[in-house]
Amino acid sequence: MKKPLIYLLLLIIHLGAMAQTKSYKRGVGYGYHSETDMQQFSSFLSWWYNWAAQPDVAIRNTYQNFGVDFTPMAWNAQGITAVNTWVTSDENIKYILGFNEPNFKDQANMTPTQAVAAWENLQNIAANNGLELVAPAVNYCGSCVQENGTTYTNPFTYLDDFFEACTGCQIDYLALHWYGGGASMPGYIDDARKYGKKIWVTEFAAWDNSVTNAAAQYQYLAGTVNFLERDPDIYRYAWFIGRTSAGINTYPYIDLYADDGELTPLGELYHDIPVYDSMQRFTVPGRIEVEEYYRMKGLFSEITSDTDGFLNIGWTDAGDWADYKITVQNSGMHTLKARVSGTSSGTINFLVDNQQLATLNTPSTGGWQSWRTVNVQLNLEPGEHLLRMYVKKAGFNINWMELVEGEVSASEFKWLKASIFPNPVADRIIHVYLPTNEFGSIYRCSLTNELGQLVFADWVKATSTNLQINLNSLYPLPPGIYFLDVVGKTCRAREKLIIK
């Protein structure tokens, strides 16, 4: 379910058209900003830190001009004095970050008892300056500190003992680091909810076997930032890192910044991911981009290869759900169109204000990025409501939902049998015959492989009832079985294609 690199440009164009405001949550961990960097990146960064007590040297006396918060850190106990010196002279400071990975021997290297002993000094600084405190930042470690027979490999074991020994301490927020790829972040955050505190994720990126190229890191950032942005328990987050010496084209492909004041494609994506608005309401009739949920359980987003949209929701399991605030204009029957894909069938229950109104069965489309639109009817009353998409049976991705007034009959959108020649394809030009009267129409033609990965998409104008599709740009194309989707105004076709 990874997106090929050739579609990154199209995605950036799509995101550029989206309305964007600045997220209070979004930040970066980096210690070498120039004034040009900060001036350019202040449009989307709300905060940063650099693992030190003072701002980066080049902007130490000017960062206040850019509207980006600096958050000092006491990296270990020895850093507390420097934090005190800075916060007493800089009235812009709001928070202090606690120790950096104290359960790691090669980082702050502090047992829970040692961390608690030093915490009183941080508390005094916070109290004297009206600041809030963020707990020591933890992660799973390899070479870990030990105390009383416990090796603190697990970050939550460390926090358990830290909190037990620090009863009554001022600890306003948690801090976590995470470098697991794929859809791993939500489970990690779920483990931290037991402490009942808002969470800062002060380092994160995919730095494991899931990352084999820049596109994989791009995919990870998109889904993970969308999750962090919309989770109510996440207070702030910071990508690791601004720049590396190796650059964006070297593993693990994590650079947000290119040259001075310029963003990499990954940085452009970080800049453009939509900001969560808890007051957002979707107007009905209208379209709902499903990744823009109000609340959700168990779901995760990825970059879609569909003909439109930014992210689709995937990783569905029975019992997962997503909620959307809607405002219905008129009462009566509505048709809900859902754009779905998957390698097996699934079932979605749609509830409005906790009342189940419709059930939609999703078909197997032959691949995780092979998309089809399916419909279901439901009766809606005017006014403000909460729409829940509840996964009854897993096995599908979903890109968007659209609610229109009235019923849409199957005859309004016909599936046709197309004829393709030559098939198998030995040449790089294929001809498609469609039994339809839409002469001269423009069709969206897309080609996916057996894994559901999109390898080609283009708009093609029909000559009479024939389409001529040029695949020259794809060669050398690996031989095998592919699926060709042709979508028109009122009809579509899907046929198997064999490439020799």
Question: What pLDDT digit, counting tens, does each position of 13-49 carry?
Answer: 444 434 457 999 999 999 999 999 999 999 999 999 9
Instruction: Record the tokens describing residue 373, joined without a space.
Output: 């639109």
Contact 362, 313 (CB under 8 A): no
Q: What is the mean pLDDT of residues 180-187?
A: 97
Percent of the chain with pLDDT over 70: 91
How far apart (Å, rounded) are the C-alpha atoms in residues 240 and 31? 11
Q: Per residue in 55-110, pLDDT tens?
A: 999 999 999 999 999 999 999 999 999 999 999 999 999 999 999 999 999 999 99
Band (11; pLDDT cuts 50, 70, 90): very low
Picking from 163, 153, 230, the residue whose alpha carbon sits closest to that of residue 195 is: 163
Average pLDDT, the chain: 91
Mean pLDDT calculated for residue range 409-421: 69
Q: pLDDT tier at 419 (50, 70, 90 boundaries)?
A: confident
| C-alpha triplet 219, 221, 226: angle, nearest 5° | 105
pLDDT tens readout for residues 127-163: 999 999 999 999 999 999 999 999 999 999 999 999 9
Same CATH topology for 5-272 and 282-408? no
The domain defined by 282-408 folds into: Jelly Rolls (2.60.120)
Q: What is the CATH number of domain 414-499?
A: 2.60.40.3080
Q: Does domain 5-272 sit in CATH 3.20.20.80?
A: yes
Closest CA to 64 of 84, 43, 42, 81: 42
What proportions of the chain, in percent to the nearest 5, are helix, strand and coil? 20, 35, 40
**How do 480-487 and 491-499 pair as beta strands?**
antiparallel
Domain boundaries, the chain: 5-272, 282-408, 414-499
Cβ atoms of 324 and 343 within 8 Å: the answer is: no
Mean pLDDT, range 444-461, rounded to an integer: 76
Choose between 445 and 6: higher pLDDT.
445
pLDDT at 411 exceeding the cut of 60: no
Instruction: List, for residues 222-257, the tens digit of each pLDDT value.
Output: 999 999 999 999 999 999 999 999 999 999 999 999
